[in-house]
């Protein structure tokens, strides 16, 4: 699992692995966790709507735009990320966006059960939530990007994140699932509170993966990091 890479390089892995599987390379599962905080917004989102821009600028928190949809997230210590680059077959659940969401999220929920986490449910389209005292709290958000013959599915799992940072640097989302019921961040999100190794092991087992990922496509990753994710005109557009 990578931990010392820049935000631009972490996001560059998404494009590099998707490009690789679309070109006939192996289906891939990988993990990463940043040692420094940064904000990531969905591809179609507006920075000024989803992020407390002034607070980020004051605190030196970089803002990036990923290649997939979904909402704004805070990355950093305690935020375990996974990515799946998969081929789209001629039939089956991966052939459509909605059934892909359902199939992968059900497997991710099963992975959490493997890790010994009880009471996990899929909420919205791509959230994982846990019941604590009769209240459903989100601990994972996920998103996908599709090409003609391959897809990227990725997400963040909060295991020990600085939740106050999420409240400080992210605005209330412009779009939210019904189960959120307008709750503020600190009343809606939670850490799992278990070691990330246990989560990684459970996800690897669920997907029957022998290792987190093969050698990462460094050249392609660096291309995408420099040509897209290091550019203000990409990250701060709209």
pLDDT digits (tens, 9 = 90+) for 151-186: 999 999 999 999 999 999 999 999 999 999 999 999
- Do residues 116 and 192 lie in contact, with contact meaning Cβ atoms separated by under 8 Å? no
22 pLDDT more than 90 = yes
Q: What is the pLDDT of residue 213?
A: 59
Which of 208, 210, 212, 217 lies closest to 23, judged by CA? Answer: 217
At 3, the pLDDT band (50, 70, 90 cuts) reads low
The tokens 């092991």 sit on which residue? 201
Facing residues of 127 across strands? 123, 141
For 30-62, write each residue's pLDDT tens digit. Answer: 999 999 999 999 999 999 999 999 999 999 999
- Which residue pairs from 175-184 have beta carbons closer than 8 angstroms and sit at least 24 positions apart in sequence? 175/71, 177/123, 177/124, 177/125, 177/127, 178/124, 179/123, 179/124, 179/127, 179/129, 179/136, 180/138
pTM here is 0.95
Question: Rg of the chain's alpha carbons, rounded to an integer?
Answer: 17
Domain ranges of the chain: 7-233
Dump pLDDT digits (tens) for 122-153. 999 999 999 998 999 999 999 999 999 999 99
Tokens 């891939």 label which residue? Answer: 28
Phi and psi torsions of 90, nearest 5°: -75, -20
- What local confidence, expressed as pLDDT, does residue 238 receive? 67
Tens-place pLDDT, residues 197-230: 999 999 999 999 876 556 668 899 999 999 999 9
pLDDT at 157: 98
pLDDT over 70 at 93, yes or no: yes
**CATH 3.40.190.180, applies to 7-233:** no
Residue 121 is predicted with a pLDDT of 97
């Amino acid at each position: 699992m990578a931990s010392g890479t820049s935000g631009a390089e972490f996001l560059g892995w998404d494009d590099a692995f998707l490009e690789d599987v679309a070109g006939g390379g192996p289906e891939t599962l990988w993990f990463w966790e940043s040692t420094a905080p940064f904000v990531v917004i969905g591809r179609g989102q507006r920075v000024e709507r989803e992020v407390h821009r002034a607070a980020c600028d004051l605190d030196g928190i970089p803002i990036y735009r990923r290649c997939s949809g979904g909402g704004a997230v805070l990355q950093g210590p305690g935020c375990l990320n996974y990515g799946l680059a998969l081929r789209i077959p001629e039939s089956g659940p991966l052939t459509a966006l909605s059934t892909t969401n359902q199939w992968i999220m059900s497997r991710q929920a099963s992975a959490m059960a493997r890790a010994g986490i009880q009471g996990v449910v899929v909420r919205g389209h791509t959230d994982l939530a846990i019941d604590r005292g009769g209240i459903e709290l989100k601990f994972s958000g996920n998103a996908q990007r599709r090409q003609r013959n391959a897809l990227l599915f990725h997400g963040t799992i909060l295991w020990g994140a600085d939740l106050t940072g999420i409240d400080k640097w992210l605005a209330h989302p412009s779009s939210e699932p019904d189960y959120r019921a307008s709750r503020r961040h600190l009343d809606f999100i939670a850490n799992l509170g278990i070691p990330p190794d246990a989560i990684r092991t459970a996800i690897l087992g669920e997907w029957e993966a022998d290792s987190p990922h093969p050698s990462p496509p460094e050249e392609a990753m660096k291309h995408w990091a420099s040509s897209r994710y290091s550019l203000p005109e990409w990250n701060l557009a709209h």
